[in-house]
Each structure stands twice: as structure tokens, then as C-alpha cells.
A and B are shown apart, each in its own frame.
Chain A
Amino acid sequence: MLVESGSIVTNDILSDDVRCMVIQVPSIAAEAEPGQFVMVKNENGGTFLRRPFGIADVDREQGRILLIYRVAGKGTQELAGLEPTMELSVEGPLGGGFRFESDGLEAGGRTLLIGGGVGVAPMIYTARRLAELEPANKPVFLLGIRNEGELFWQDYLKDFTEEIIVTTNDGSAGIKGFAIDAMPEILSRYDIRHIKICGPTIMMEGLAKLAMEQGIECQVSLEKRMACGVGVCLGCTFEGMISGKRWKICHDGPVFPAEEVFEK
């Protein structure tokens, strides 16, 4: 956990409103685990607070991390305007990341990764890690996107996944509907033992409930507006469903067991 001045390597357009940025931050890259995030700040820009982004992928050899971000407001607009060689202040890696449990996987069980919208970003690195941990038993990926314009995610995922099942809101690619609509088929075709999700709360809620009903171990990655990212401002807390504890998403998460977040 440190603040590192990073040099922007690339900052490219993936779709209308999604960009990908590679940043040279060797110390952070050396530590970053799947599911962790960074807080970035353009020191020459007009915004005050840092902005949080999931670590989409890591190249430890080159000392680089990948961010994939949607242009949502002033801060991300400014990010989109930065050019290679410019500097960006990066704080991280923050939070704890996903827990990897292997029970059930020896016997042909699978991990299902689910990403919705820009929530797919941290799932890339997560998929890579799973594929590295068990090359013979790569995760299945359920990709919930708005339309075919967002199929670029597949390019990042294909090497690390057994199969990518796509749902689009408008049916322009894959199954028409929401991610959850693909679940019956996935559960019938695979022996899913673990589910890890990052996406909009409403999407995660439905999927997590389904997982809990089916008794599948499920972790969700939460998001809330953050000011500090390190557990001091208390902007991002919530009350654990089971423990009753006040959790800080930035510090204790962003990944939590589904049971601690959503009612069964």
C-alpha cells in the first residue's frame, strides 16, 4: 500500500465511453492481487479527490497495471484526456481482493466469474489468476453487457476462461437479457462450486441470492463512493448482514462473502 507516481504507457479507446489505460507502477504491480483496486489522481487536473478503479490486470515483469474505465463524469473525462508519458499518481494496491478456495475443484467443479458493465475489469485479473492456479480447470465467465459494442471484454478474457457466456440487454450479442437469465443453462452444463461477481448492485443481488439458494460459495465485489480508499473517512461503510459488523468496503473489502451483503 503506497503512493506511486506512474507513467502512462497507453490510454486507448475500447468503446464509446470505455477506455483502457496501462500505467507503469512497478511497486504497486509487484503487490497487486486480483480484486484489489487503486485510487488515482491527476495532479495537474481540476478534480480534488482521487478516483477508485479496479485493477483489471497486472504485468509484474514489466511493472505495469491495466485499468479499464468508463467515462462517467469530470474525473474520468480528465483521465481520458491524458496521453502516454504523462504522470498519474496511483495509490494502492487497496483492499483485500478475492479469496481463492479450491474445494470442489479437484472433482471437476468449476469457478464461475461474473462481470457486469465496467465491473468486468477486476474479473480479468481474477480470471488470469484462476487460469494460472489451475490451468486445466479454467473458470467459466458470464459477461453481462449492454450491447455488442462492449464485446471487447472477450479479447481480454478468452485466454483465461473455459467459455464466455454473453448476455446483452438488447440481444445484439449472446443471450438477450440480464446475466441472471443465463444462469439456468450454466448451472445445468457446469458443476459450479464457486462464484465471484463484480457488477451493479442490483445484478449482484439477484445472482448472489441464486448462489446462496443453490449453496454455492459466492463472493461479491462492492462499490460505493469513496473519499479516502484506506478506511479513514467512513464514506463507504455498511453493516454486515450476518456479523452485524460495520465493514469498510475500501479496507475490509471490496470483496465480501455474499451472505454478509445480501439477505438470503
Chain B
Amino acid sequence: MTDTLLPDGGTEDVPVTKRADWQSDQEVRWCPGCGDYSILTALQLLMPDLGVRREKTVFVSGIGCAARFPYYMNTYGMHSIHGRAPAIATGLALARPDLDVWVVGGDGDMLSIGGNHLIHALRRNIDINILLFNNQIYGLTKGQFSPTSERGKVTKSSPIGSCATPFNPVSLAIGAEASFVARTHDMDRHHMQEMFRRAYEHPGASIVEVYQNCNVFNDGAFETITKKDVRDDMLIPLRHGEPIRFGTEGQFGVARHDGGVEIVEVADVGVDALLVHDEARTDPSTAFALSRLAEGPDRPTPVGVFRAVDRGEYGEAMRGQVDQMESDRGNGDLRALLHSLPTWTV
């Protein structure tokens, strides 16, 4: 497939950049103290390390506070409409495999109105990196519950509490055949960067759930697990090839139990009983089980890469078909096409 008109994207070495090169000239307009800032910083600091070109990088977003993200990156970017970023990014990524396409959105944008595009992008394994900023609230519209808000949540649109069970974004993604699923949070720059890098490196669709604090409408939603002083006991780091273990002294761990997983005290069961994390299992069942450990951010919650398997990216297959037809039939010949049905001459 020859896209002669498209920029060939520089054959010289990727230039060395620094954070400032990735910062756009736009004033950042989130509320002071918003968790989005630290995510932005993490990514802007990471980009120079990825060895990618700014002009080959595109951020696509929907609408919401999170969705303002593209404005602040000195890359290409589209701030589209509510919920549709995964669909738009799908078209862009399929058309332009030379680009790195990132999708950024909030829990409302991507799980409420955009839920269908999200699960289909994951299923198809489109080569995009999805960052889901989950603050469990609608920020931009000033505080209604979202599909990740806990049951009973009191908000402007649920004055005596919401009635709905929330999605667990990791479970949903795994149920939708996602090939890469990770979780991180806005209080740990290093961990975010690790997850973003892994998402970037993954062929096909990757989704990273980022617990993000909305200090205006849902302040402290993740405090119980992400605050520095509780983190060790409340976050369960998933590390490929390692037994899943956490706690200030590593006193807790995760072990299989009745088809799922449960938290155990290492002292009780011994290290060998701990589940050794294997993010590359073809069968997503264990990854799914891990996603069930915490129903909400009030119990010890796994962070890290739940699942990372290479199962073939959609665009490659799609472009393969163009190539196949080209090699079967030669490059398109318009005259031949027009004459392909029975013709007669007067």
C-alpha cells in the first residue's frame, strides 16, 4: 500500500527531545490540584524516553476534563466529541499505521457514552493506546455520578445516592477481549510512566485505567488506597513473573481461591502459595480474577499490567488484505474496473 502523498515521516534519527518539547503553548486549564496535572507531567516527561517523533504522535480525545489533554501536548491532537474518540482514533490508526495514536478520556466519556466504541476497539485490537482517567465522576459537567461511581454515591443527579452498580473497567476490558490491560494512579509518577510505556510498546489496543483525583467534585476518591502512607498496604503491585505480594513488610499476598483469587497473609500460607503473576497467559481468566479483588478503591487494589498478550493487530490484517488484493490482481486499474461488467460498443 503506497501512500505517496503522505509525509514519509523522516528517515533521520529520532531527534533527542526534552519535556519542554512536548509541552504545547496552551495554558493548562484544569482546576488547581486536579490529578490530571500529574498524569500530564508523567507523560510529558516520559515521551522523550520513548524515542518517538512528536509529529508522529497524535492524541485523540472526546469531551470532559480529561479530554482536554491533547491541547497540552505539543503533538498532533484532536479534541473531538463526547464518547467518540475510540472510533475516530480507530479510523486514524487504521489509515496511518506510521502514527502513534493515543486516546485519552474520562470514565464518562469512555465508559458511559463511549462504552461501545471502547469495547469494540479492544475486541478488534486496534493499535491505539487508551488512557482512561477514572475519577468516578463527571467533572466537566460539574459533578454527576459516572458509570464507575460507587452505588449510593450522592451527587447532583443522585441527591440521595445512585442506584447503580459500577463497572469495573479492568473486568469490562478483559471481558471485551482486550489484549493489554493495566491500572495505575495519579499519585505515582514512576508507576504511571511504566504503564504508559508498556501500553505504548504493546502491539494492538492497550488500555490503562488511571485512578485520577477530581479534587473539586470527588476529592479523595482514591485516597484510601493511593495516599503515600497507606499505599503499601492498599495497592497490590502486579509484576510479571513475580509472586503477587504487598504490604509494608510484604506481609500480604494473593493466592488462588475457589476459582478466583484472595488476599492472604504470607505468614499463614507461605510464599510458595502465592500466585505468580503471568501477564502473558493466553487465557484471561486469571487476569479477570485479579480484577475482582477490589470492588472499589477501598480494599487492596491491584495495580500494574493485568494482561499483555500479542494476538495480532487489526490494522495489520486489514492492510494485509489490501496487499493480498494488490498481489492477486495488481494495482487497481480504473479502466479495467469500469470495463469489468459486460460491455458493448456502439
Partners in one complex: no
